[in-house]
Amino acid sequence: MTDEHLNILLIGDSGVGKTSLLKRFIDNKFEDNYISTLGVEYNKKVIQINNMNVELEIMDTSGQEKFRTIQKSFYQNANGIIFIFDVTNFDSFENIKNYLKDAESISEDYKYVLVGNKIDLKNSIVVKKENVYERDIFKDIKYFETSAKYNTDKNVEKPFEELTKLILTEGLDNYRKRRENSFHLHNQNNDNNIESKSCCK
């Protein structure tokens, strides 16, 4: 029995480790092979937060540029987003602001957290915690460093749990309003279509 169902979106450049993080979170496994995700893949996991069983439906999107348009269509159904970059790849960090813009063009009420992955590659790290916090756009965001390869101290679970808490405490009302608005807008558009059809026969 689950008390709540949430849709979570994983967003970030290709190769940053979105699928690997999810695999670690769901199956506690890691693979060195890189098989890029095509489009989107869905996974589910039930977690316990504040004495509730919360079912997370997690949409693992592809970071490939050619899927960017379909990626945007998933924002509408999301309760929250985990933005992921690779701490050894500065461009993947820079690109987060574009993904944020995409999300905010749909709604300003999203709950999200930020993840810097591959923290195990100690000698190649180019994005440090201070680089994240010195950016104005990230000053209020919860930031987590993770390694899908060596999941020490259960670091991979934290972003999922913290995002769930954020959504449950302040995000669900906003999400429901957004869904209602898009439902009304959809109906309105349909009504308009009917009217215009009947008026112009």
88 binds, among ligand GTP, Mg ion, none (CB under 5 to 8 A by kind): none
Per rule CB under 6 A, is residue 159 in the interface with ligand GTP? Answer: no
Residue 148 to residue 137: CA distance in whole angstroms: 26
Residues 6+ apart with CB under 8 A from 48: 54
Per rule CB under 6 A, is residue 120 in the interface with ligand GTP? Answer: yes
Site residues (CB under 6 A) for ligand GTP, limited to 129-158: 147-149
How many residues sit close enough to ligand GTP to count as binding (CB under 6 A)? 23
The answer to whether the Cα torsion of 36, 13, 106, 163 is positive or negative is positive
CB distance 9 to 78 below 8 Å: yes
The minimum distance between CB 91 and ligand GTP, in angstroms, equals 14
Alpha-helical runs (H) found in 34-87 = 68-75
For the record, the structure tokens of 67 come out as 């899927």
The minimum distance between CB 128 and Mg ion, in angstroms, equals 25
For the record, the structure tokens of 126 come out as 């180019």
Tell me the pairing of strands 4-11 and 52-61.
Answer: parallel
Name the site residues for Mg ion (rule: CB under 5 A): 18-19, 37
The answer to whether the Cα torsion of 100, 117, 93, 166 is positive or negative is positive
Site track 48-67 with ligand GTP (rule: CB under 6 A), x = hit: --------------xxx---
For the record, the structure tokens of 1 come out as 């029995």
Of 34 and 133, which has the nearer Cβ to Mg ion? 34
Per rule CB under 6 A, is residue 117 in the interface with ligand GTP? Answer: yes
Per rule CB under 6 A, is residue 16 in the interface with ligand GTP? Answer: yes
**3, 4, 26, 37: residue in contact with ligand GTP (rule CB under 6 A):** 37
Per rule CB under 6 A, is residue 178 in the interface with ligand GTP? Answer: no
Per rule CB under 6 A, is residue 32 in the interface with ligand GTP? Answer: yes
CB distance 62 to 56 below 8 Å: no
Of 15 and 182, which has the nearer Cβ to Mg ion? 15
Count of CB atoms situated within 10 Å of the CB of 76: 12
Interface residues with ligand GTP (CB under 6 A) are 12, 14-20, 31-32, 34, 36-37, 62-64, 117-118, 120-121, 147-149
